[in-house]
Amino acid sequence: MNGFLSVLEMGRTQFIITGMAVLVLIQLVLDYLCSLRNPPRSVRIVERCEMTFATVVFAAFFMFAWIERTKSALLVGLAVSLIWYALAVAIYLGKRWARMLCIILSIIRVVTIIGIPFSVISLSITLSSEEFKGYMGQPKPRKSADEMEAHSA
């Protein structure tokens, strides 16, 4: 792990190039893993939203760690962004628990200025899209007795 933390000793240009390379590598690996399925558009939007937020968090902590020369900020940024990357992949794969975690983390994230647009998009889709709920294995609303009667007639 000391090899990874040695980026704090790099010059500015080397640091930026290393950070960008790490972000591109993470994005490529996750894109490949997620290309194995073809989920509905609403799922892809939420997944992209969460993945983009994870990248922004990683980049912010990465830059803060370099400016302040602190290893703890680098480790915290890595841990937080990995949680969001994992959430994005779980959403893409249709894991049932990912919808609830996305709702909880979006509510928490809404208090940050940068998190507001990501939270609004994710919450609006996860709470209202029947397509999203169906893909995530959530039960669909039951038809009323009148609707069932009209359908059978």
Name the E strands within 25-144.
none
pLDDT the model gives residue 145: 56
Regions of the chain with pLDDT less than 50: 1, 140
User: Is 121 within the bounds of a domain?
Assistant: yes
Range of the domain at 108: 2-143
Q: What is the pLDDT of residue 120?
A: 93
pLDDT for 122 equals 93
Minimal CA–CA distance to 82: which of 62, 63, 64, 57? 57
pLDDT in tens, 25-50: 777 777 776 666 678 889 888 988 88
User: Residue 125's pLDDT is what?
Assistant: 93
Domain count, the chain: 1
User: Taking phi first (over 0 means left), then psi (-120 to 50 degrees means alpha), and beta for anything else, what does residue 69 get?
Assistant: left
Please report the pLDDT score of residue 13 as a whole number.
67
* DSSP assignment string, 36-52: T----HHHHHHHHHHHH
Report pTM: 0.71
**Tokens at residue 104, please?**
């909880």
In a domain, 94, yes or no: yes
Are 105 and 118 a contacting pair, CB within 8 Å?
A: no
Is 150 a member of any domain?
A: no
